[in-house]
Amino acid sequence: MKNQVELIGFYGSDLTHACSAWTSTSRELTAEKIARVPALLKMLAENGHHTPFEKSVLHFLIRVDTATHIHLLKHRIGVSINGESARYKELMEPSACIPMDWPSDLADALAHHFHRSVELYRDAIVSMEAHGIGRKRAKESARLFLPYANQLTLDVSFNWRSFHHFLGLRNKPDAQVEIQKIASEMLQIVRLIDNNPFKHTISAFGY
């Protein structure tokens, strides 16, 4: 199963970023000022005046492998990440990320390995409970049988400034393929929001 991205909400727009910048002068909007929004955002982006871009929120629900989860956790400033709990939620239908660029024999081997790991995970929970270990502890520790391919569901939000930093590191040809695809898909989803509310912000940062 490939990793997945869904936009579940957003706040703000190009005008939100512009109005934040105009707080230092006047937030009163006129037709002339609205017409200057694209140029203003470009100037702010190019000159490193990125604080106004913290006033928006992009909120995603994603399902990714453990390695990609670790990459995401390295982004902390302006980023909020919450994931499913191994203690409170038993993995009833575990899924694995099988790389699309692998030879078929390796992909099949990983799928088999993952299936066996899930069996060991479930057997371990039963065995630990039989030995008097509490179910919460059994669930959270049995996941040690699961490989990096195991997928987790994560709730992730960025402000635009942190999203730009994320894209700058992860939406690059030399980034790990799985995180690069997540970053690229996130950007494409934002481009396709109805009425394109971040059109000029996207352009200002050169995307």
The Cβ of residue 195 has, within 10 Å, a number of other Cβ atoms equal to 6
pLDDT (tens digit per residue) in 109-143: 999 999 999 999 999 999 999 999 999 999 999 99
For the cut 90, the answer to whether the pLDDT of residue 88 exceeds it is: no
Q: Which of 193, 186, 155, 149 is nearest to 62 (CA)?
A: 155
pLDDT at site 91:
74
Q: What is the pLDDT of residue 189?
A: 98
Rounded average pLDDT over 88-99: 84
The answer to whether the pTM exceeds 0.85 is yes
| Domain boundaries, given as residue ranges, for the chain | 4-64+75-84+154-204
How would DSSP label each residue in 118-167?
A: HHHHHHHHHHHHHTT--HHHHHHHHGGGS-TTBEEEEEEEE-HHHHHHHH
- Assigned CATH class of 4-64+75-84+154-204: alpha beta
